[in-house]
Chain A
């Protein structure tokens, strides 16, 4: 069964510093992976996705993630944090069974950005 582990429930960085949010997955089939962001009192917004092809995926707001099969990882990075990046981030893997599909989410990482 697919699963997702996000290392660190809370990450704090200074404005302008590198953002690194860690995600490891477990999947018996080639995975489809996603990062979502959630701002307070809002739904989930898709940041980026990995389906097939290039393992370095670029998303919105300057974020990118690299799919590493050998490490079963899909870490999210951003070279320079902005105050507006403060939010909760969720890594998810697709579970495609029974013609439909669900997303299996990690527990989330709350990102704080200090001025």
Chain B
């Protein structure tokens, strides 16, 4: 079974631009979560989508948004990029069997650099 895939793997943008990151979960998984990883703040939860609905949201500004499609693929968007948005963005998927204890499987991440 293929794992979680994320595209692109690396991205360089300039301040003020916007960016869209993509995540394909493990086949059959309907929950997709996004995390931001930075050296200073560590791993922080952004949001979770299940069946095309956001059901959990972390403490990030409205510039960070996401969506999920009917095939469970998810995208996250960051508008008006700031230097501090430079980070590794990780996507994780979760199956129904593991949902009761929240076991999540992570993709390789998208490394975003904002110049």
Chain A interfacial positions (CB closer than 8 Å to B): 32, 34, 36, 41-46, 49, 51, 90, 94-108
Q: Interface on chain B toward A: helix, strand, loop, or mixed SS? A: strand
Inter-chain residue pair count (beta carbon < 8 A):
68
Specify which of B4, B56, B90, B106 is in contact with A100 (CB 8 Å cutoff): B56
Chain B positions within 8 Å of A46 at CB level? 103-105
A98 and B92 CA atoms in complex are apart in Å by 18
Chain B positions within 8 Å of A44 at CB level? 90, 92, 106
Looking at the assembled complex, report how far the CB atom of B66 sits from the nearest CB atom of chain A, in whole angstroms: 13
Number of interface residues of B (CB under 8 A): 28
Q: Which among B6, B102, B106 has the highest number of chain A CB atoms within 10 Å? A: B102
A43 touches B104 (CB 8 A): no
Chain B interfacial positions (CB closer than 8 Å to A): 4, 6, 31, 33, 35, 42-43, 45, 48, 50, 55-56, 58, 90, 92, 94, 99-109, 111
Chain A positions within 8 Å of B107 at CB level? 43
A103 touches B104 (CB 8 A): yes
Looking at the assembled complex, report how far the CB atom of A109 sits from the nearest CB atom of chain B, in whole angstroms: 12
B48 touches A101 (CB 8 A): yes
Chain A positions within 8 Å of B33 at CB level? 102-103
Chain A positions within 8 Å of B104 at CB level? 46, 103
